[in-house]
Amino acid sequence: MSAAWPWDYRLARKIAAPIAAAGIQPNTVTTFGLVMGIGAGVLFAVGGHAAANWAALMFVIAVFTDHVDGEVARLARKASLFGHFYDHTAAALSYAAVFIGAGIAVRNGPYGAWSVAAGLSAGLSVLGIMFIRLKVSIERGADSIRQPVFLGFEPEDTLYAVGPVVWIDGFTPYNELLTFIMAAGLGTPVYMLRVFLQARREAPHSRSHAAVDSKPGS
């Protein structure tokens, strides 16, 4: 694997090898990630220090699993258009659930209901971003949605920050998580608009299903 690949993709490939060798289906791995993501959102919404810590851990696992399932599919030679669609859908639902759940978790902070609105804004925007990218990848191939890599990290790797933010925060009095959610509520819709406009500007070259084979972690 090229040194240009992000760190989490490289680690995902190493972990995917024994999973594929064991005959575990890539869609099973995707389902595991979906359960982790939805569960994390529910735990955030429930509230409390212990629930938040577990939620953060489960979300980090869900984000990483989004890369592992695609590598399992490729190593096992079981990549498919359905798997590609399911992978993106599961990731979108997981990310949305966590943003919405975290917004609910900090509703008793200084911003009150605005925190819930920010979580909802971020969650819905993430859904929009993921499905725009899915549509583009199916129409133009996976390389069309490759993100820039800087020092081994992609822009979407900021999602991993949810873990440290919660663990450092101690979840009392919600300062770091509240700041993260408010920033996400404002910034994610702007990024979704950017993704949408970029997709509109770049006319599709051809309809190709190459996305299921070439994008790491898809």
Rounded Cα distance between 185 and 183, Å, is 5
Cα separation values, 31 from 49, 56, 118, 172, 176, Å: 27, 18, 27, 32, 30
pLDDT over threshold 70, residue 95: yes
Transcribe 115-140 into DSSP letters.
HHHHHHHHHHHHHHHHHHHHHHHHHH
pLDDT in tens, 24-70: 999 999 999 999 999 999 999 987 788 888 999 999 999 999 889 98
Q: Quick one: pLDDT band at residue 214, thresholds 50, 70, 90?
A: very low
Over range 146-160, report the average pLDDT: 70
Give phi and psi for 150, each to the nearest 5: -130, 115
pTM attached to this predicted model: 0.79
Contacts of 14 (CB under 8 A, 6+ apart): none
What are the residue boundaries of the structural domains of the chain, listed by start? 7-214
Q: Quick one: pLDDT band at residue 178, thresholds 50, 70, 90?
A: confident
The one-letter amino acid code at 187 reads: G
Tell me what percent of the residues of the chain surpass a pLDDT of 90. 45
Domain spanning 7-214, CATH class = mainly alpha
